[in-house]
Structure 1
Amino acid sequence: MNHSIYSADRSTHLKVVVVALVAGISVAGFGISARLGANDGYTQTARVIKADRPVMVTTSTNTAIR
């Protein structure tokens, strides 16, 4: 094996490319599996609030309906 990238032959370059490809695939696989495993129900959902009747909020405990 050559210790310089400038004087490396074809097989050394191929080994470097294969090691980089395996490392990239393993990092991507780890990221995807970590993301899929983190589904603990903390997803955001749209909440629908329907209008009922007008309510005026006061400083007392009673609410006044107009």
Structure 2
Amino acid sequence: MNHSIYSADRSTHLKIVVVALVAGIAVAGFGISARTSSEDYTQTARVIKAGKPVAVTSSGTSMVR
């Protein structure tokens, strides 16, 4: 058994590349299927209007200017 990647033969390198590609495709497929499973998810824009300015002091009370 060869314990170094540098001195490994061609078939060992090919096996490593194939396993890495299969694992990458599996992770990508799982991510895509998990993301598109909820069809009813929609984003809506919410408008937040600014109120009166507030200054917070160190005592914990607020003061409206």
TM-score (norm 2): 0.60
Which aligned pairs between 1:45-56 and structure 2 lie closer than 5 A?
45=44
- CA radius of gyration, larger in: 1
Q: Structure 1 residue runs of 4+, over 4 Å off?
A: none
For structure 2, which runs of at least 5 residues remain unmatched after alignment? 47-65
Aligned residue pairs total 46
Q: Provide the rounded CA distance (Å) in 2 between the counterparts of 1:46 and 1:19.
A: 44
- State the shift of 1:46 in Å: 5.6
**Could you tell me the percent identity over the aligned residues?**
85
Identify unmatched segments of 5+ residues in structure 1: 48-66
| CA RMSD across the alignment | 1.9
